[in-house]
Amino acid sequence: MAEPSLAIHGGAGTLPLTGMDPAMADAHHTALRAALAAGWKVLSKSGSALDAVTVAVMTLEDDDLFNAARGAVFNADGKLEMDAGIMSGRDRAAGAVAGICGPRNPILAARAVMEHSETVLLAGRGAEEFLAAQDIEFQSFDYFCTERRVVALNQELARRASGAPDTRSDADRHG
Amino acid sequence: TVGAVARDAAGNLAAGTSTGGFTAKRPGRVGDTPIIGAGTFADNATCAVSTTGTGEIFIRFTAASEISARIRYASQTLEQAASGVIAELFSNGGDGGLIAIGRAGPPSLPFNSSGMYRGFVLSDGVFRTAIHRE
């Protein structure tokens, strides 16, 4: 019998300590605890590590505080491209998607590739066509289009156009 | 980028990572997240890993499977391997962090950036979260 355990991250693109007010910090801690709670609910009932990882990542994807799915950042064309990967240590089964937009939870898309296709990595339109035939919830572009990310994109494009040096924080660079 | 690694009561490990990339990235650019062995990796014999940061460096250094290799072939602990890879990436221009969990013991959550949104829970069921270097 092993000791269950779960770890999560919400990305290295943190706001600088000076730039994060207590309310913002609390919001992030609350969101992180919600993801831990979702995964721990699986593990504490002897559920699988794969299911625990899936629900923990889904919880973070649903929260627009983080750079994934609903909180995803925009590319230079103002479009959204999302990537995800999942892997099972028991049998080294793996699934991944790249350059897609549509599935509410890209981690579920990666798991569908792992469990319902003969491939490990599917990308772009082919991936979206495969996923459309799976039992996966899709959302409209507007669902993913958050004001904060639009502002960040426009600021970065304006900086590039001006030729100003890249002095962005981790939060701005990593999203 | 967001991610999770887990060990269940049966001793199985798993890893998952999901991302939007970075703001104003080149259309079509893909980072380490969906690259198995770079941003996402799991093998019951060694560890499960999920990374976040400068994807190109994590790909070139196959960061996640490098941690597994150091455990398997150099007999390093999870903490030694995970922290060593993050330090080596930093000296090669790769900033960011990762979470890793092994066959036993607590997870490792090293990072070389100014912070990393992170959390973990052990068999005591206590939720621990952090953002900067607290």
Model pLDDT for residues B2-60, shown as the tens digit of each residue: 999 999 999 999 999 999 999 999 999 999 999 999 999 999 999 999 999 999 999 99
Q: Please tell me the predicted confidence (pLDDT) of residue B23.
A: 94
pLDDT band at A166 (very low <50, low <70, confident <90, very high): confident
Residue corresponding to tokens 């590039």: A160
Q: Please tell me the predicted confidence (pLDDT) of residue A172.
A: 63
ipTM over 0.95: yes
Helices (H), B11-134: 55-60, 63-73, 78-90
The residue-averaged pLDDT of A138-145 equals 96
Residue corresponding to tokens 């995964």: A39
Q: Is B23 a catalytic residue?
A: no
Q: Please tell me the predicted confidence (pLDDT) of residue B20.
A: 94
User: Is A175–B100 a contact, with Cβ atoms under 8 angstroms apart?
Assistant: no
Residue corresponding to tokens 């790909």: B59
The residue-averaged pLDDT of B99-112 equals 97
Amino acid at position A137, single letter: E
The residue-averaged pLDDT of A15-32 equals 88
d(CA B115, CA B28): 27
B130 closest CA partner among B118, B120, B122, B121: B118
User: Is A83–B131 a contact, with Cβ atoms under 8 angstroms apart?
Assistant: no
A14 closest CA partner among A29, A2, A34: A29
d(CA B119, CA A146): 25
Enumerate residues 6+ apart whose C-beta is below 8 A from A12.
A170, A174, B1, B52, B53, B95, B96, B97, B111, B113, B115, B116
pLDDT band at A109 (very low <50, low <70, confident <90, very high): very high
In chain A, residues with a C-beta closer than 8 Å to the C-beta of B65 are none
Question: Is A61 touching B (CB cutoff 8 A)?
Answer: yes
pLDDT band at A175 (very low <50, low <70, confident <90, very high): low
Amino acid at position A60, single letter: L
